[in-house]
Structure 1
Amino acid sequence: MYPFPGKPLIPVYTSEHHGLTGGKGSQPFSIVQSEGALVYEEDLLIPHRKSYYLLVFVRQNQGRHWVDMTSYARKNRTLYFTAPHQVLVKEAPTPFWGTYLTFTPEFLALQQHAALRELPLILNPHHGHELRLSEADWAFAEDMLAKLAAEYQRPGEWQHRMLTAYLTVLLTYLSRLYTEQFTGAEPSADQLLLRTFRARIEESFREQHAVGAYAAQLHISAGHLSEVVKAQSGRPAIKHIHERLVLEARRLLFYTPLSLKEIAFDLGFSDASYFNRFFKREVGTTPAEYRSSIRKMYQ
């Protein structure tokens, strides 16, 4: 049976909380390598979010985990990557061989990391989670991870620059693989605008529900933004905002016992009745009907 939370809110964990900082306390960046350790934290077995970006390079591991409402059977020689806003849960603890790489949004916000923030693997416009690596790709990744791990244990004046340099190479390489696996082409200027629009939605969807508010952030007209987004994605700009609101609503309906009024307030709706009408228009069922049907499905 799929585990449901016993707490009213989805907890948010730091890398320090789950021992992914190498014993160094709360860190903006960390790398931890495992050779068969049985990673077990009881609170990993309930739905939760992480406050950091997590890249898990699986050399060998079995089991299944969930990201939002999708389950993944873990594969060897595979990268699994998640962002802070996603809801995660493991079904059972299993021995793990591989590497955990973490960094926080604050780490990416530093001026010297501006290029990293725009990489496809970080923006993740296709909502990917699993990246299969060839033998050559895995060898490259392991070499870079070894360099990062060695530098991580070598504090000093040049450590941050060296970590940034290695991380830039690794994430750029993985982003090339990401585009090959999910799109097969290099992004155009309009595609980059679409990605930036989606990233801004991720930052502000609770507070901003109108296209014009995002156009103002991007210093362009609402008409131009709508035109580009529709041409690149096939869907109106407002639809992207609504889809993000629906995704978060589904997460809260599935993973938490929050009332419909509490969920509506969390998502920036002025009242529960408006949220109810919005959800039914977008999904085809009321929030209460969705909560009942989705939980029955996974029991």
Structure 2
Amino acid sequence: MSDNENHNAESASSASGNTDYHVPVLLQETVDGLNVQPDGIYVDCTFGGGSHSGEILKRLGKNGQLLAFDQDADAKRNVPDDPRIIFVPHNFRHLQRFLRLHKITQVDGVMADLGVSSHQFDEADRGFSIRFEGDMDMRMDKRQELTAFEVVDTYDEQRLHKIFEQYGEVTNSKTLARTIVQVRNTVSLKTIANFKQAVQAVVKGNPNKYFAQVFQALRIEVNDELGALKEMLQQIPSLLKPGGRVSIITFHSLEDRIVKNFFRKGDVEEAENADPFGRNVPEPPLKVITKKPITAAPEELKRNSRSRSAKLRVAEKV
């Protein structure tokens, strides 16, 4: 299923975070899942507006510590003036590297909210939203070179087809890819309006839903979201202290499948954790705490429509 804009970003609300920048989802549930110890060390992999971090800080004592990662430079202005927090302006795929840099080898908990922030959707020039006119950009980290325009302007037909099919579950992904390759020699696809106009003839069903799926696919490719998630997950077992917890919120089935498999089997791929020859298979390093994912309560759904596709999974280091 697609994480279109009505429910992709994140959700609830906290006095300690910038909810103009981003409304967090499953705020209490996510932090409850971490089972915060007052003198523990915690990591928020997706700082954003700082609401989840704010809730963690509320539960930490004066000797507790929080490291907050966010590759989007805009997030830095939301960091509170608190000696217990260290802001790391990088992608969470570099988790271990930056923890080592701060002389930290193990932590008590890690959380990540994988939705796109409301701020990113609402800033027209970021190119994330089909609601605004702007460049086809979609970079979460403006320091990187690859943009959505580069993808649609340079990728071959087969590669585009694969992206739209796998990351957006676009019904006619093959036709869309062929159309893009045909029109881009005569039409510039640099802006959102140009792109939508250029492929208008092949749009299937509800145009808003269709373009939301197309934009989701491009955004995942531009930011290598699934690659970053897999790299981050693989670092968690060695980073967590025994009994340490990890809470992760996903917003579409691709992410959720990766998190679910890793929590259950210790593997980011979908291979079954079994040996055909009956040899001993190592126990997964994490114990699943949430047998079924936690979803938003009716009250939160009413308050924040973007929370309706959110799924929270929690696991504990064995």
- Whose RCO is larger (CA < 8 A, sep 6+)? 2
Greater per-residue strand proportion: 1
- Structure with greater proportional helix content: 1
TM-score w.r.t. the length of structure 2 is: 0.23
